[in-house]
Structure 1
């Protein structure tokens, strides 16, 4: 039953993989490439990719203010890897945040370069045990605000968290065949829309 529409910001990054994960969970997926599409969706995923490139494209196509408005609207948002960096209220070494919606402080490229990418099974609170998590030039969460729930740690670093309608993780859940994390986000969206 495709009772909700989940948008995937389609400017850069692992867009197709997120769309496949959404559809595997029985929800409708929309690749968001223009501002009008933000009005059609019930939740938004900002995918992994390259955060600097993504920010440049967000600015080029005037997405920043509409994304901030989407965050204020109360609709759920899920940032994975670069998407987490864009959602964060503060980023190490940067004076200004990007969207600045989620009360976390992020350090970029915490786990090494591309060639040092790895996969590890994580226990994610409320989501899944033994979840296969792909880390590619991943950030980590250095600090969280008082209303942020830590969902997963790896090597004493916070790698997944939730604050109200905002969800973020350092890794790429869309790059595996395990769709439980996307399912968790879809359930957040359904609850927000009072779908039970």
Structure 2
């Protein structure tokens, strides 16, 4: 399996280390020519600064071909800023980037970087998983067909209540989360993603997944 990792900016190296540790072949996507250096079985959109990534995607010419890949169903793992790139809507009304994932997000909802935290919670299909949140976007809402795989409890100071919000979601071949699984030391989420990639490859070849 050959996985392309968006490497314009952000925490892409940790994803590469995690995936290669599971036996995947990875390559970094920095220029348009990188997309055509060989087969692409899956994509990773890492954390970082989503506004900077959006700008660089368009300036580099990567935006349209990557969006085409998403629309064709190539599996993607998107974390933190990567989730923002996929989100169909932003609560502040600013235009989406790819807009292929039917969720609404609120940027930097979990506080500043110094307020980062880790919470262990159940992740469907994996079990308890340590979720690291760093200036993370909040998934405010998800369309009915979006599957919620994990939730987190975020304390709402204005209402004095603890409310559950999606922390990881799956829609078609798009796996996205607010947190950073690549910083957990636990490869389970990346193994889950590689299983998605394998299933997609099997289906494209006409074999049972």
Bin the TM-score by the shorter chain: over 0.9
- Residue 129 of structure 1 deviates from its aligned partner by 2.0
1:20 aligned residue: 17
Shift of 1:25: 1.1
Q: Give the stretch that moved more between structures: 49-58 or 162-171.
A: 49-58
Aligned Cα root-mean-square deviation (Å): 1.3
Structure 2 runs not aligned, ≥5 long: 154-163
- Tell me the residue number matched to 2:2: 5
Contact kept, 8 Å, 1:89 with 1:101, in 2: the verdict is yes
Which residue is equivalent to 2:111?
Answer: 112
Q: What are the ranges of 5 or more consecutive residues in structure 1 without an aligned counterpart?
A: none
Once residues 91 and 168 of structure 1 are traced to their aligned partners in structure 2, the CA distance between those partners, rounded to angstroms, is: 15
Distance apart, 1:41 and its partner CA: 1.1
Moved over 3 A (4+): none
SS at match of 2:182: helix
**1:146 counterpart = 2:144:** yes
Normalization by structure 2: what TM-score? 0.88
Shift of 1:159: 0.9
Q: What is the CA deviation profile of residues 43-69 of structure 1, one whole-angstrom value per residue up to 9, with x for unaligned ones?
A: 101000111111121122122111210
- How big is the shift at 1:117? 0.3
The 5-angstrom pairing of residues 1-196 of structure 1 reads 4-39=1-36, 40-126=39-125, 128-155=126-153, 156-194=164-202
Asked if 2 retains the 8 angstrom alpha-carbon contact of 1:92 and 1:106, the reply is yes
- Cα distance in 2, alignment partners of residues 26 and 94 from structure 1: 40
Q: Matches of 1:159 and 1:38 in 2, distance apart?
A: 29
CA radius of gyration, larger in: 2
2:62, 2:116 → 1: CA distance?
A: 30
Query: Would the aligned equivalents of 1:5 and 1:28 in 2 still touch at CA under 8 Å?
Result: yes
